[in-house]
Amino acid sequence: MMMLSCVFVTYMGLCLLGVVARDKLNVLYIMADDLRPSLGCYSDPLVKSPNIDQLASKSNVFFNAYAQQALCGPSRTSILTSRRPDTTKLFDNSNFYWRVHSGNYTTLPQYFKSHGYTTMSVGKIFHPGIVSNHSDDYPYSWSVPPYHPPSFHYERRKVCKGRDGKLHENLLCAVNVTEMPLGTLPDIENTEEAIRLLKLMNKSESPFFLAVGFYKPHIPFRIPQEFVKLYPFDKMTLPADPDVPKGLPSVAYNPWTDIREREDVKALNISFPYGPVPKDFQLQIRQYYFSSVSYVDAQVGKLLNALDEHGFAENTIVVFTSDHGWSLGEHGEWAKYSTFDVATRVPLMVYVPGLTSVSQGRGEKTFPYVDVFQEPNNHFISGRVVKSVVELVDLFPTISHLAGLHAPHQCPQPGSHVNLCTEGENRAYTFYRPETYISEERMAFSQCPRPADTPQLNSDQPHFLEVRVLGYSLRCSQYRYTLWVGFQPDRFYANLSDVHAGELYLLDDDPDQDHNLYGLKGYEVPSHSLDKLSGIGAMPQWTDVLRQHITWLHQHRLQRNPAQTF
Ligand SMILES: *[C@@H]1O[C@H](CO)[C@@H](O)[C@H](O)[C@H]1NC(C)=O
Ligand SMILES: *[C@@H]1O[C@H](CO)[C@@H](O)[C@H](O)[C@H]1NC(C)=O
Ligand SMILES: *[C@@H]1O[C@H](CO)[C@@H](O)[C@H](O)[C@H]1NC(C)=O
Ligand SMILES: *[C@@H]1O[C@H](CO)[C@@H](O)[C@H](O)[C@H]1NC(C)=O
Ligand SMILES: *[C@@H]1O[C@H](CO)[C@@H](O)[C@H](O)[C@H]1NC(C)=O
Ligand SMILES: *[C@@H]1O[C@H](CO)[C@@H](O)[C@H](O)[C@H]1NC(C)=O
């Protein structure tokens, strides 16, 4: 009876608040690195991810979640401060610490810490180095010094056995873990440390916010060799669109320089900037990426199993996401660094006990470990799928609200210096209402810096001072629309009247974004619509400009479904 009434009241959003009043919910915040939604629970036909699928079956699964930039440092800083890269002013991994140069913005873990939570970081949560003051923002964000696995030291060393039997610094790096320096791998160490902390928290009075950042499937694919056996080479296929699209403006293309630096890729003498990568090697990159995903899945499974064992499955919110995606050969690219869906779309699922899933019966586990080698198939159906477009800047207010804290207010304007506010939106309502109630069209915004209009050696990751063109991109259910505009770093000025190139994809016909219609006859955006916009204010916000462009195009050129409005 108790449970029944709880389930009923939950849908009115009350049961959760009741729980919080008695006892705050913990948060387990799990991030993967460079993981696109190549997962069973996102309908990937090949990838074996039974543990993440199991989590998905008890979670709200956001099918259209987008990162604000497809690069680790800018994306992680954006997620954790809930501000867009234009506000943190961080476009690269090496420029500065936001607290000193942009604003003393409160972070998601810092907010929980200020509400009495014990906050802990394991592995890669903040981007390491200068962008988080060489301390992962400790002590502001964390109660204890962040943990870094010692074996990460060997990530870029010659530890991968090549075909010649010698050790190399390779992209493809399936290893015998016992033969590795320290006899382990960074994500295995991360899992062990996170489990150790969970054990300690079992005796703690205060609630916890435990952030666990896995390093994979980021390159190099240094992973336990057994995972590669899950993906026989002869079952591997190329993507549907393995070539650089004909209508793609050259500024939009990024030449994936980081994989070219690895010894095994160097030996292939791939021409710069367009390649291509030899077909067999393309298939191997895909094989190793998928293997890395299954390896991360196993770590997630062990972690969730421990959460359960230590008595936290019924009072802990679990978030699983990634900083951005990765192109696995789509558009002839092998990297992030673009505004395509393959680079900006991420997995995002949130488990809220009692809200997204009802309690297990006595003695039954919520998250039993699933051994992918024993049960490789996806037995799990997705829980509550949310199709509405969401952004990673939404995470901060949404998780705060779900845990029972006040969601930070909307920032008074983009770029605001208020320490605690959000440039995202609180999406907690998606947990209380069936999605059919949500009629409004949502949009996600991402950006991408370039040093020039044509591919250069530094096109993937230009230093901030080298940025000359900025890609501003909008994603909604029907369109992806991108403008590449002139940028002056010394003034931090993006000139929206100085359009170098554009991209327009109609996703109903072209979900993979291969047929650029921007500027073609019938799809022009008349310049008067821009002129009118410059009247918005001295500095029109680019998000508003893109929104108005796509609204104009939708109403005058593209509309198939007149009922749909923006
Ligand atoms: C930034 O804010 C924190 C509290 O959130 C405060 O302790 C710190 O002194 C501030 N730093 C600066 C430079 O204002
Ligand atoms: C960054 O770290 C240094 C060295 O630990 C410290 O002295 C400095 O105060 C930190 N910066 C801020 C803004 O906290
Ligand atoms: C891994 O390496 C250890 C130590 O060299 C060896 O005993 C073991 O047989 C190897 N395992 C595999 C599967 O090759
Ligand atoms: C790459 O170039 C080097 C030096 O020019 C040559 O020795 C090697 O055979 C080439 N490799 C391939 C795969 O073409
Ligand atoms: C701590 O963990 C044990 C099992 O290891 C469990 O029985 C107990 O309920 C947990 N305590 C709390 C306070 O959750
Ligand atoms: C912005 O670009 C337009 C078109 O190239 C140019 O006429 C204008 O002077 C630029 N504005 C600034 C402030 O640089």
Query: Does 10 reside within a domain?
Result: no
Query: Does 8 reside within a domain?
Result: no
Query: Does 367 reside within a domain?
Result: yes
Q: What is the pLDDT of residue 533?
A: 52
* pLDDT of 19 strictly over 70: no
Q: Please state the three-class secondary structure of 48-104 as a single string.
A: CCHHHHHHHCCCEEEEEEECCCCCHHHHHHHHHHCCCHHHHCCCCCCCCCHHHHCCC
Q: Average pLDDT, stretch 372-377?
A: 81
Does residue 539 have its Cβ closer than 6 Å to ligand 4?
no
Query: Does 566 reside within a domain?
Result: no
Could you tell me the residue range of the domain that residue 371 belongs to? Answer: 26-560
269: Cα separation from own chain's centroid: 31
Does residue 497 have its Cβ closer than 6 Å to ligand 6?
yes
* pLDDT of 432 strictly over 60: yes
Does residue 314 have its Cβ closer than 6 Å to ligand 5?
no
Q: What is the pLDDT of residue 558?
A: 80
- Written as six digits, the tokens of 244 are 């650089």
- 40 Cβ partners below 8 Å, 6+ apart? 47, 48, 49, 50, 52, 53, 378, 380
Q: How many domains does the chain have?
A: 1
94: Cα separation from own chain's centroid: 20
- 157 Cβ partners below 8 Å, 6+ apart? 169, 181
423 CA to centre of ligand 1 in angstroms: 20
Residue nearest to atom 9 of ligand 4 (CA): 267
Q: Average pLDDT, stretch 161-182?
A: 96
Q: What is the pLDDT of residue 8?
A: 32
**Contact by Cβ (8 Å): 139, 110:** no
Does residue 310 have its Cβ closer than 6 Å to ligand 5?
yes
Among 246-260, 504-518, 550-564, whose mean pLDDT is lowest? 550-564
Does residue 495 have its Cβ closer than 6 Å to ligand 6?
yes
Q: Which of these, 324, 254, 347, 344, lies nearest to 34 by C-alpha position?
A: 324
Q: Average pLDDT, stretch 526-549?
A: 70
**Contact by Cβ (8 Å): 389, 68:** no
Query: Does 19 reside within a domain?
Result: no
Among 360-369, 385-394, 433-442, whose mean pLDDT is lowest? 433-442
Residue nearest to atom 12 of ligand 3 (CA): 176
Q: Of all atoms in ligand 4, which is nearest to the CA of residue 269? A: 1
* pLDDT of 534 strictly over 60: no
Chain position carrying tokens 């779309």: 345
- Residue 497's domain is classified under what CATH number? 3.40.720.10
Query: Does 16 reside within a domain?
Result: no
Give yes or no: 72 in active site: yes
Query: Does 166 reside within a domain?
Result: yes
176 CA to centre of ligand 3 in angstroms: 6
* Residue from 469, 470, 498, 531 whose mutation best tests the ligand 6 pocket (most atoms within 8 A of CB): 498
* pLDDT tens-digit map of 285-323: 999 999 999 999 999 999 999 999 999 999 999 999 999
143 CA to centre of ligand 1 in angstroms: 16
Q: Which of these, 500, 457, 100, 404, lies nearest to 273 by C-alpha position?
A: 457
d(CA 163, CA 68): 39
104 CA to centre of ligand 1 in angstroms: 6
**Global pTM?**
0.94
Chain position carrying tokens 């393959």: 342
Give yes or no: 417 in active site: no
- 287 Cβ partners below 8 Å, 6+ apart? 228, 231, 233, 236
- Written as six digits, the tokens of 182 are 């320290």
Query: Does 358 reside within a domain?
Result: yes
d(CA 468, CA 286): 33
What does the chain come to in residues?
A: 566
Q: Average pLDDT, stretch 514-525?
A: 92
130 CA to centre of ligand 1 in angstroms: 17
